Structure 1
Amino acid sequence: MVGLARSVAAAALLLSMTALGHAADRVIIVLDASGSMWAQIDGKPKLEIARESLRTVLQSVPADREIGFMAYGHREKGSCEDIELIVPPRAGSADAISTAADNLKFLGKTPLTAAVKQAAEALKYTEDKATVVLITDGLETCGGDPCALGKELKAAGIDFTADVVGFGLTADEGRQVACLAENTGGKYIQASDEKALQDALAETVAAPAPEPAPAPQPAPEPAPAPEPAKPEFNFTPTVVLAEGGDPLTDGNAWEIYKAMADGTRGDSVATEYGAYKGNLEPGDYIVVARIGEAKAEQKIKIEAGQVYKPLFTLNAGTLIIHPRPSEGADVADGAAVVIAYPGADMPATYYGDTKVVLPAGDEKVTVTIGQGVATETIPLAAGRVIDKDIIVGVGHVVANAYYTAGGDKADGSGIGFKVLKAKKKIDGTREEVTYAYGPDSKFDLPPDDYVMAATVDLAVVEQPFSVKVGEHQDLKIAMNAGVLAITAPGTSKIEIFEARKDIKGNRKSLGYAYDEKYQAALPAGDYVVVSEKSDNSRKEGTVTVKAGERAELTVQ
């Protein structure tokens, strides 16, 4: 009896430890917020599709599911460190995640490997069960190795899984990130449009935790004799880029609709991907095969007992564009690549390196980098792949203002730069090219002669400069200015005038503030400061501002 009691106690303790050992079902969603998410699918930016899909799917997340939200590339252009855990994993976080996604800016690079590792560490993957769901529309651009990371996390984790959703990736691109999921025992899901993205999120984020295995059932009765075998599938379509080409089995989509009596599309039946095989109920359908910007459509009549194997020919090719500012320069990630392809209702826009399937014909490609624009018409034959650099031909300029040559750099809020054409128009004015604000303002400009109008508060200086293709230059503009700090206790307005009067005895007003204190940069020189109180009484003070120095004046 003592032995039996000990056995019962040990079993109870083991059951208790097992129940406590199950970690909470905790997930972090990692969203690609790089600049390429401005690209469109069916006329809608990917970033809007991602926001709406997250909002929709998160409403069906089980209440006890602890979900967090991380993004990368949403705060800085060109930074591989721009990774942020915005919503820590917790139950009931759906609204917080939707709000965070709505407020994201999409403008940076793609450090997806580092982001997944940070998410795993935030989930304490070496101590508890952890899942990371990565949504990316691009490949690693910061030197990380997603395949190696997958092996590392699986080896060190207690029960770690990474699921990867390739949003708009091609088959070749998908294979380069699918290994991250496969090496952790997770899933790679290809999503080419909004419905596919929602389905992928529902499968990875909103799916309920696995139910306990059911109790063993009694052995079934012997099965009756098998009936004659029926075809497993009655609809197995094939799609090719060109006649005689190899079938496409990845990155392509199948849209299946009911056919209306007049031959138009009715309700959507399904959207499938890749090498699709399925069973359709007898009836009339319209089937659209699609990849990239190319598509082909057929009307199909399904009859009972028949197998259909239609061939769809897209009459399309693949165009790969590398936008570069100059010969031999790196690809410009922020370059806009606009393609007007045959049959398009409106041009498609991509960013940076671009690879897309297009209907055969003349493709008008326009690449914009800063103020530089290059347009080429590229003939594309069905089944062909054209890999091409497009050189925009710009130079890169970084502008800064300094109070004096070799002196302190101006870094306040009142800094602005305006690029003007050096050649004046017939009325004596110059054509404005572009502008920017703040220190280290960057410009990509076509080769030409220009004038940079730099502004620091009330000081304005123009400096000519020239741009050559491929040239990088730092434009340092000496403002010959100082800073004037004014204090006028009890006043309602402070106004700064030039000390010199014009022929009518009037002074030129340079700037004013409705406050007791006013500070601004001014060109070196003599000034008169007038303070005005609410009773209209006025007082004056004079001051000399020296270049590169601070002057202080009290008017009372």
Structure 2
Amino acid sequence: MFKQFVAACLAVLCLALPARSQDRSMIVLDGSGSMWGQIDGVAKITIARDTLRDVLAAVPEGNELGLMVYGHRRKGDCADIELAVPAGRGTAGAISDFAAGLKPKGKTPLSAAVKQAAEQMRYTEDKATVILVTDGLETCDADPCALGAMLEETGVDFTAHVVGFGLTAEEGAQVSCLAEETGGRYIEASNAATLGEALTQTVVAVAEPAPVPEAAPQPAPEPEPAITVNLKAHATLSEGGPAYDEKKLRWELTPVDANDKPVGRRAAETYNAAFEADVPAGRYLLFTRFGGVIRERIVELNRDALSEIVVNMDAGLLTLVPKRAADQEGADKAVQVKARNGDVEQAGYGESTFLMPAGDLSLLARHAAAEVTETVTLAAGQSLRHEMIVSTGVVLPHALYSEAGPAIEDNSVNFRYVPAEKPISGKRRQIGANYGSNRYNLPAGDYQVLARLGSVDVEGPLFTVHPNQLTEVTVNLDAGVLHVSAPGGYQIRLLTKDMMTGKERQINAQYGEEFQRVVPAGTYIVDVRYKIDKADVQQQVSVKAGTREEVTVE
């Protein structure tokens, strides 16, 4: 049963797209470890492979289709995303072959995978469609809802459809917004029996058009009915306010029983600013949603009379403008913003506009390790623009072997950033860290940089990070490189000797005949051990800062 459902979902999404050269679609397939889970005794990955093969065989030749897969190569890696087959015509065989070899094992970075798929199809320039097939929720600290809003805002004509592999209704609600934000469809496994049959019929109708019947005599025109629809509805943001002209409003009309509980299939549904329907007489649940704002009401409809209904969303439009400094021009796209009112939460990056329920809103802006929380009051029908300042700047670290150089230009140096002031315990909490001379975002404030390379671990200078500014800091490691060659040696140890006690302390050790290490400038003892019947050999060596010292011990 589930296999029929997935087949129908993929088919309708692939085949229902017009086969024009400028229309391109990308399937994003879940290859995470949970795909080994079973449905009716069959692994989900097996269902996916078989279904893809069957559905792709019926894809019209003019359709351009590609495949993006995630979580199939490495465990625990949120960057495990692969463009398996670029979008193009005649790719059905290549997609089927790649899917046949999938071995699920990793995480579920579904948001990053959908974003990469959109970028592969140049969604900011051309019309593009992404079909996400997933059996799990996002596991890589990303927000599918915010991604959907961003893709819709920046895309030319972008649509994302989401197919849920065995997700519960609660789980489905966490990913359905990706489709809803872009005007796409979310299809749940819970409706497999009836929805699968309906979608299969739709696919057959699209893939195999019925032959044109022979012309028949035209009957005499009948009188037009008195009404063509018996329901018209629109939404407002406040009582008595103007119609809310938002074409992505979600409308659903579902029959209800004597207890006003939904029964059966939806009688009508659409995305549009206004809603019209022609349905049998009876009681219905009218559902209206945009973003996280949902309104429901029971309506009584007559077959021969028009009911006109106004839905008050009791909401307002909130625009958050995050900045890293008060004098920064425009919003900063790297800053994440969130707004919450009760169970309704919206999130995005950079300047973001949300429809939120009227009332007191909790706001959050986050960048790097800094975050700011505020509270504002939003009235029904109000459009509120609000700036949030997250004071962060950028540090660019550098490392030198000595004051005279040379500089360390690769990414081998580990830089850590701690508060400049030490607490009474002497232990400071690390605020951030990175490798190499690369820019790193930090909250504005006073810091000290620590640097580690090889056996060298030093405290660098104090520095200050200013909001939305770049600060460069240089650390002198006061170190050099020691290379030891010991022909026939089994183990090479590097020791220091306490001048007061005469005790030796091991700095580092390495098995084999070669040893190389970055060490602080100073004098050391090289201790070589042999497997053969030969006594250990010790040799003193001095290392100068900024130089390479090579010694041979025999």
Q: Which interval holds the TM-score relative to the shorter structure?
A: 0.5 to 0.7
After superposition, residues 515-554 of structure 1 pair within 5 angstroms as 515-533=512-530, 538-554=536-552
Q: Which amino acid aligns with 1:427?
A: S
Of 110, 128, 133, 1:133 maps to: 128
Q: 1:300 to 1:487 in 2, by over 3 A?
A: farther
- Per the TM alignment, residue 226 of structure 1 is displaced from its structure 2 partner at its CA by 0.9
- 1:409 counterpart letter in structure 2: A
CA deviation string 1:140-191 (max 9, x = no partner): xxxxxxxxxxxxxxxxxxxxxxxxxx974499948x72499xxxxxxxxx94
Cα deviation 1:326-356 (Å, max 9, x = unaligned): 1233533232212222x226x4432222211
Match of 1:196 among 184, 188, 203: 184
CA change 1:105–1:298 in 2 (3 A) is: closer
| 1:461 has 2:458 as partner | yes
- The corresponding residue for 2:348 is 350
- After superposition, the C-alpha distances for 1:66-105 in whole angstroms (9 at most, x for unaligned) are 623579xxxxxxxxxxx99652342234464898996778
Per-residue CA deviation, residues 23-74 of structure 1 (Å, 9 max, x unaligned), is 9989754699xxxxxxxxxxxxxxxxxxxxx999967743264623579xxx
2:218 match:
222
Contact 2:27 2:130 in 1 (8 A): yes
TM superposition shift of 1:428: 2.4
Does the aligned pair in 1 maintain the 2:432–2:442 contact within 8 Å? no
Preserved contact between residue 319 and residue 352 of structure 2 (Cα < 8 Å): yes
Give the RMSD, CA atoms, in angstroms.
Answer: 4.5
Q: Which amino acid aligns with 1:259?
A: V
Q: 1:211 to 1:68 in 2, by over 3 A?
A: closer
Question: Could you tell me which residue of structure 2 aligns to residue 287 of structure 1?
Answer: 286
2:321 corresponds to which residue? Answer: 322
Counterpart of 1:50 in structure 2 is none
Change in Cα spacing, 1:457 to 1:233, as seen in structure 2 (3 Å) is: farther
Cα offset, 1:375, TM superposition: 1.8
Structure 1: distance between partners of 2:479 and 2:503: 24
Whether 1:383 and 2:389 are equivalent positions in the alignment is: no
Distance in structure 1 (CA, Å) of the matches to 2:419 and 2:67: 46
Q: Which amino acid aligns with 1:397?
A: V
- Give the aligned residue type for 2:184: A
Offset of residue 401 of structure 1: 1.9
The change in CA–CA distance for 1:281 and 1:405 in structure 2 (over 3 A counts) is farther
- Counterpart of 1:62 (choices 35, 56, 70) is 56
Offset of residue 452 of structure 1: 0.8
User: Could you tell me whether the CA contact under 8 Å between 1:418 and 1:454 is conserved in 2?
Assistant: yes
Query: Retained in 2: the 8 A contact 1:401–1:456?
Result: no
User: Contact 1:400–1:475 (CA<8 Å) still a contact in 2?
Assistant: yes
**What amino acid is the match of 1:317?**
G
Question: Which residue number corresponds to residue 116 of structure 1?
Answer: 122
Q: Distance in 2 between matches of 1:57 and 1:385?
A: 47
Q: Is the 8 A contact 1:25 1:209 kept in 2?
A: no
In structure 2, give the amino acid aligned to 1:277.
Answer: E
SS of 2:420's partner is: strand
Structure-1 separation of matches of 2:185 and 2:511:
54
- What's the CA shift string for 1:431-465, capped at 9, x where partnerless? 32222233314122222x21111112221221211
State the match for 1:48 in structure 2.
none
Structure 2 counterpart of 1:192, one-letter code: E
Of the three residues 228, 238, 245, the one matched with 1:242 is: 238
TM-score normalised by structure 2 residue count: 0.67
Q: Do the aligned partners of residues 431 and 94 (structure 1) sit closer, same or farther apart at CA in structure 2, a change above 3 Å counting? A: same
Aligned residue pairs total: 445
The code of the aligned residue for 2:419 comes to K
Letter in 2 for 1:382: A
SS in 2 for 1:432: coil
Which residue number corresponds to residue 501 of structure 1?
A: 498
Gaps of at least 5 residues in structure 2 are 1-18, 29-47, 70-80, 132-145, 160-177, 188-195
The whole-number CA distance in structure 2 between the counterparts of 1:541 and 1:510 is 15
Instruction: Mark the runs of 5 or more structure 1 residues left unpaired by the alignment.
Output: 1-22, 33-53, 72-82, 121-131, 137-165, 181-189
What does 1:137-536 correspond to in 2, within 5 Å?
Answer: 168-169=148-149, 173=153, 177-178=156-157, 191-192=179-180, 196-198=184-186, 217-243=213-239, 244-259=241-256, 261-265=258-262, 269=266, 271-274=269-272, 275-329=274-328, 331-341=331-341, 343-344=342-343, 347-405=345-403, 407-412=405-410, 414-447=412-445, 449-463=446-460, 464-498=462-496, 500-501=497-498, 503-533=500-530
Task: Give 1:106's aligned amino acid.
Answer: A
Shift of 1:391: 1.2
Change (3 A) 1:481 1:259: farther
Query: For residue 92 of structure 2, what is the aligned residue in structure 1?
Result: 91
The Cα shift of 1:271 comes to: 4.5
Q: For each residue in 1:103-126, what CA deviation from the matched residue of structure 2 results, as whole angstroms up to 9, or x when unmatched?
A: 778399999799539999xxxxxx
Cα deviation for residue 528 of structure 1 reads 1.9
Q: State the one-letter code of the partner of 1:334.
A: A
* Structure 2 CA distance for partners of 1:303 and 1:470, relative to 1, 3 Å: same
CA distance in 2, matches of 1:383, 1:56: 51
Contact 2:158/2:182 (CA < 8 Å) preserved in 1?
Answer: no
Inter-partner Cα distance in structure 1 for 2:219 and 2:204:
33
Counterpart residue type for residue 214 of structure 2? P
CA displacement, residues 531-552 of structure 1 (integer Å, 9 cap, x when unaligned): 3345796433332222222222
Which has the larger displacement, 274-283 or 319-328?
Answer: 274-283
Deviates most, 357-366 or 422-431: 422-431
Secondary structure of the structure 2 residue equivalent to 1:529:
strand
CA distance in 2, matches of 1:542, 1:216: 96
Distance 1:333 1:195, change over 3 A: closer
